[in-house]
């Protein structure tokens, strides 16, 4: 959605917008959150480090072969300034994937009465039986010794991620800006069927699902879709956990189709560096209900787009109103809420 991250980040982005006259917005990020720590370690943004090796001109020439002309360069320049310690990569998805995420979140808020941090989105619904619940990336790889995430069972467990904004610019359909500017998702879930399963959890009227996705067409444009920045904020835990704790446990480096890439060090070491870097090819996030689908975990996401904020506000208002109007089974909803609390270890 087209809103600026809160606090210091909002000041920085607002300052940039004055001088670029570019309407770029993202979700509020940890609004009104006062960090009880001081981060004194050196940090250099991954995309900045990547551009130290590959120039914009070189990237532009390669992406042009995929009919992507980097017309949104001023947008990307601003997005890159939001990379900070804990940033772990980029992904992009279609408009419908964004609507799918909003349906899940708003349904859990309105039907179950739950509250979530603003910088979190559900890439699957929590409790979805298609998620195998792997306890780590190694657990996933032990189950699938031959990985091909074109296969639906494997794909349902994974999120494709680029280390920096332009990683894989020289490979066809492997770079986040390609999916952003072409408004595409790579092998997304079956949105309608997945929402049906979610509605079944709470005894909701499934005949209204298409109405929700129709409202979602209000934000469809051919200009671009939605770009995501992922963050692992383990280091902000009040019990002083190590930085990138989630990343080192639930991700693995790979090449196309999720095929594992041999790398002897924790992936976090790549993000802790400050020198120019090629990074690796790409990596996969392994989802489960307790971590990546847990809004109370160390995982956060920022969402960026080029939509008119008035249009987005109208879309969100209409979507939420319809969700609130759909009847549900209170007993089923209570049981589902209890299941989520057990997954997330919250009261």
Per-residue pLDDT of the chain (347 residues; tens, 9 = 90+): 444 444 444 434 443 443 344 545 454 444 444 444 445 568 999 999 999 999 999 999 999 888 887 778 899 999 999 999 999 999 999 999 999 999 999 999 999 999 999 999 999 999 999 999 999 999 999 999 999 999 999 999 999 999 999 999 999 999 999 999 999 888 888 999 999 999 999 999 999 999 999 999 999 988 899 999 999 998 887 776 777 889 999 999 999 999 999 998 999 999 999 999 999 999 999 999 999 999 999 999 999 999 999 999 999 999 999 999 999 999 999 999 999 999 999 98
Q: Tell me if 160 sits within 8 A of 284, measured CB to CB.
A: yes
- pLDDT score recorded for residue 39: 53
Give me the count of residues in the chain: 347
In order, the DSSP letters of 167-186 are: TTTTSTT-SHHHHHHTT--S
The pTM assigned to this predicted structure is: 0.86
**b/e code 212-242 from CB counts within 10 Å (16+ = b):** bbebbebbbeeebbbbbbbbbbbbbeeeeee
Q: Tell me if 168 sits within 8 A of 174, measured CB to CB.
A: yes
- pLDDT score recorded for residue 198: 98
Coil vs helix vs strand at 87: strand
Cβ atoms within 10 Å, residue 335: 12
CA distance 146 to 148: 7
Helix (H) or strand (E) holding 286: strand 282-286
- Report the candidate in 156, 160, 117 with the shortest Cα–Cα distance to residue 289: 156
- pLDDT score recorded for residue 239: 75
- pLDDT score recorded for residue 243: 78
- pLDDT score recorded for residue 26: 52
| Helical H segments across the chain, by residue range | 7-20, 46-51, 56-64, 73-80, 95-112, 137-143, 152-155, 176-181, 191-201, 209-216, 245-250, 268-272, 309-325, 330-344
Tokens of 75: 């947008």
Domain edges within the chain: 7-31+48-344
- pLDDT score recorded for residue 164: 97
Look at the block and give the residue holding tokens 């902000």: 236
Taking only Cα atoms into account, the Rg of the chain, rounded to an integer number of angstroms, comes to: 20
Angstrom distances, CA of residue 330 to CA of 303, 322, 333, 336, 342? 32, 18, 5, 10, 18
């Amino acid at each position: 959605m087209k809103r600026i991250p809160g606090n210091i980040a909002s000041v920085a982005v607002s300052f940039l917008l004055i001088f670029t006259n570019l309407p770029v917005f993202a979700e509020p990020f940890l609004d009104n959150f006062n960090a009880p720590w001081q981060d004194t370690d050196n940090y250099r943004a991954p995309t900045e480090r990547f551009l130290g090796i590959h120039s914009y001109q070189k990237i532009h020439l390669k992406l042009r072969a995929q009919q992507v002309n980097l017309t949104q360069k001023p947008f990307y320049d601003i997005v890159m300034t939001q990379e900070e310690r804990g940033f772990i990569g980029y992904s992009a998805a279609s408009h419908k994937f964004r609507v799918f995420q909003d349906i899940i979140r708003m349904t859990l808020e309105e039907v179950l009465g739950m509250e979530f941090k603003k910088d979190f989105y559900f890439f699957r619904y929590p409790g979805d039986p298609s998620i195998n619940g792997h306890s780590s990336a190694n657990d996933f790889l032990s189950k699938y010794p031959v990985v091909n995430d074109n296969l639906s069972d494997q794909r349902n467990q994974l999120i494709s991620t680029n280390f920096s904004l332009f990683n894989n610019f020289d490979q066809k359909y492997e770079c986040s800006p390609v999916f952003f500017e072409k408004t595409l998702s790579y092998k997304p879930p079956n949105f309608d069927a997945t929402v049906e399963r979610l509605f079944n959890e709470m005894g909701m009227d499934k005949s209204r699902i298409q109405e929700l996705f129709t409202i979602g067409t209000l934000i469809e444009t051919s200009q671009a879709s939605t770009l995501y920045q992922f963050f692992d904020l383990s280091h902000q835990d009040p019990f002083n956990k190590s930085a990138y704790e989630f990343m080192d446990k639930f991700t693995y480096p790979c090449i196309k189709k999720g095929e594992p890439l041999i790398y002897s060090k924790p992936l976090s070491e790549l993000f802790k560096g400050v020198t120019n870097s090629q990074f690796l090819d790409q990596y996969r996030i392994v989802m489960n209900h307790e971590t990546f689908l847990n809004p109370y975990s160390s995982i956060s996401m920022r969402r960026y787009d080029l939509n008119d904020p008035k249009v987005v506000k109208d879309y969100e208002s209409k979507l939420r109103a319809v969700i609130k109007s759909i009847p549900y089974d209170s007993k089923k909803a209570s049981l589902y809420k209890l299941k989520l609390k057990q997954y997330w270890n919250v009261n």
